[in-house]
Amino acid sequence: MKCDRVFSKHDCERILNLFENYHVSDESEKKLIETLKQQILKSKPVDAKKIKENIVTINSKIILRNIGNGLREEYHLVFPDDSDLKCRKISIFSGIGSQVLGNKVGTVIKENPNSEKYYMIEDIIYQPEASGDLHL
């Protein structure tokens, strides 16, 4: 099965290193993380300088639109240790975070496997690669 998502080599390296030391007890979170890991392993990572501006990468700030009610909200995609829902910082290992990573503007995702809420990646306000911030 081909992976349609696009990941930067830099993001892949950092995420694969996280998998080594990241332990969870919640079964649904384990499944999300395993699915993301398989997507990354099936992908052909792209050099960070060649990532298109419409692809969500780690540290991107995005606008998600709730398909059901039209509500638009800004989120910052971060590593698990930096997540803070009150500040709209979502982990790459969360239900939404694991799905937006590597996807492009216009992609519709499900909040999590047990939810009926759907969101569309409406816009990317900030993407480190597009801004030349390759160290983030």
User: What residues does each domain of the chain span?
Assistant: 9-126
Closest alpha carbon to 70 in 120, 104, 112: 120
Query: Is the model's pLDDT at 20 over the cut of 80?
Result: no
Note the pLDDT of residue 136. Answer: 61
CA distances from residue 20 to 16, 17, 38 in whole angstroms, order as listed: 7, 5, 14
Pick 63 or 35 by higher pLDDT. Answer: 63
Note the pLDDT of residue 10. Answer: 92
Q: Is 114 exposed, middle or buried (0-12, 13-18, 19+ CB in 10 A)?
A: exposed
Structure confidence at residue 1 as a pLDDT band (50, 70, 90): very low
* pLDDT tens, residue by residue, 101-128: 999 999 999 887 778 899 999 999 999 9
What are the backbone angles phi and psi of residue 79, rounded to the nearest 5°? -70, 155
CATH code of domain 9-126:
3.10.50.30
In percent, the amount of the chain with pLDDT more than 90 equals 62
Note the pLDDT of residue 3. Answer: 62
Structure confidence at residue 32 as a pLDDT band (50, 70, 90): confident
- The model's pTM is 0.90
pLDDT mean over 65-92: 95
